[in-house]
Amino acid sequence: MPPCQSADKLANWCCAGYVVGMSVSVPCPILIAGPTASGKSALAIAVARAVGGVVINADALQVYAELSILTARPSTADEVRVPHRLYGHVPASVAYSAGRYASDMATAIAAARTAGQRPVIVGGTGLYFKVLLEGLSPVPAIDPAVRAHWRAEAARLGAGGLYDILLAHDPEMAARLRPSDPQRLTRALEVLEGTGLSLAYWQRLPGVPVIEGPTVRLVLAPDAVALRARCDARVDAMIAAGALDEVRALAALSLATDLPVLGALGVAPLMAHIAGEIAQAAAVERTKLDTWHFVKRQKTWLRRNMSSWNIVQIDEINRNDGSMIDFIDCMPVSG
C-alpha cells in the first residue's frame, strides 16, 4: 500500500472523495473486489459510511431475490446503515445477463451521482468488473431458435457433451472454458452457430466501459489458511440461519435446470439432501469443499486480471491509524 505523504502526488490520487486536478470535481468510484468470505462487503459498508457513498453490487448471484442467505447478501441492518443497490432485485426465474448488469449499473451510478453519493462497487464476480471497466464484447443478438436449440442440447447432453462439440468445432474457445460449465459452453456454441464466428473472436473486439474516468481499485488478498476457516464458518452460519428452508423454497419453484441461480454455492448439495439422496452433514461438507474450490478459482482470476489494482489486507486497514477516508485517500487512482 503506497504511503500518502507526498503532496505532489495528490493530482493523481483520489482525495476526500473527488478526483483532484480536473476542471470539475467528480466523485471517484471505489471498486472493491476479492474472493468469497474475504471481508469485502464489510469493508464496502465502512468505506461508504466514511465517504457518504452507496454500496452497489458486483456479485452475479446476490442479484437474486430468493437467495439472501446462501449468497451472503447484505442484511437489513446493513442496508439501514448505508444505502445498497442491485441486491435481490431479480427473480430466480430470470437468467440475468452481463448485458443487463451493465445497463442496471449505469443507471445505479447515475442515480448515485445525482444524489451526491459516491459509488462504492463491491463483489466477487470478475466478469462484472471487466464489464464496468472494459465494456461488453459486441456480440450480435442470437436467433432465439438457435439459443433454444443449444439449451435443449445442454439438457440432453450435459456439460461434457457440449464440451466435446465445442472442442471439435471451436478449439480456441474450448480451451478457455471449464468442461463442467454448461452455461458458458452453451453460450459459446450458440454464438458459434448464430454468427459463424467463435466467441473468442468477439471477445477480442473492444467494448464500451460502463465507468469512464478515474477509479480507486482495491482487491482483498487474505491469508489462505484464515480464508478457508472463514469460508467453513460462513457455511455453518448459513445453515444455522435457515439455508435449508431457503433452498426448499427455491426447489418448490421447479425452475429450468439451466438457470444461473441454481449454480449458487450450496444449492445442488442441499437440494440433494432435501431429496433424500445424501445426509445433511454430507451436503454441508460438499458445500464447504465447493466453496473452497470456487475461492481458489477466484484467486487465480484476480491474480491474472487485477495485478494492477491496490492489493490490501483487512488487518492492514484495521491497523491504519487514520480514518477510513485517510486510508482511501492514500490509494492511487486508475483510469
Domain count, the chain: 2
Q: Say yes or no: 104 and 131 in one domain.
A: yes
- Residue 272 is assigned to a structural domain of this protein: yes
- The single residue listed with the C-alpha cell 491474480 is 303
Query: Last residue of a domain, which of 159, 185, 204?
Result: 204
- Residue 88 is assigned to a structural domain of this protein: yes
CA 192 – CA 153 distance, rounded (Å): 15
Q: The C-alpha cell of 220 is what?
A: 482483498
Q: Say yes or no: 120 and 265 in one domain.
A: yes
Q: Say yes or no: 256 and 179 in one domain.
A: no
Contact status, residue 28 vs residue 34, Cβ threshold 8 Å: no
| pLDDT, mean over the chain | 88
Q: What is the pLDDT of residue 210?
A: 95
- Residue 192 is assigned to a structural domain of this protein: yes
Q: What is the pLDDT of residue 312?
A: 86
- The residue range of the domain holding 312 is 7-136+208-334
Q: What percent of the chain has pLDDT over 90?
A: 76
CA 264 – CA 36 distance, rounded (Å): 12
Q: Say yes or no: 110 and 67 in one domain.
A: yes
- Tell me, what DSSP letter sits at residue 276? T
- Residue 1 is assigned to a structural domain of this protein: no
CATH of the domain at 73: 3.40.50.300
Query: Last residue of a domain, which of 204, 237, 256?
Result: 204
| pLDDT (average), residues 312-318 | 67
Q: pTM for the whole thing? A: 0.81
Q: Say yes or no: 291 and 195 in one domain.
A: no
Q: What is the pLDDT of residue 313?
A: 77
DSSP E strands, 226-327: 310-312
Query: Last residue of a domain, which of 170, 204, 238?
Result: 204
Provide the 3-class DSSP secondary structure of residue 19: strand
Q: Say yes or no: 149 and 236 in one domain.
A: no
CA 74 – CA 294 distance, rounded (Å): 20
Q: Say yes or no: 163 and 186 in one domain.
A: yes
Q: The C-alpha cell of 260 is what?
A: 444461473
pLDDT tens, residue by residue, 238-295: 999 999 999 999 999 999 888 999 999 999 999 999 999 999 999 999 999 999 999 9
- The single residue listed with the C-alpha cell 454441508 is 284
Which of 16-20, 261-265, 326-330 shows the lowest mean pLDDT across its residues? 16-20
Band of pLDDT at residue 333, cut at 50, 70 and 90: low
CA 154 – CA 161 distance, rounded (Å): 8
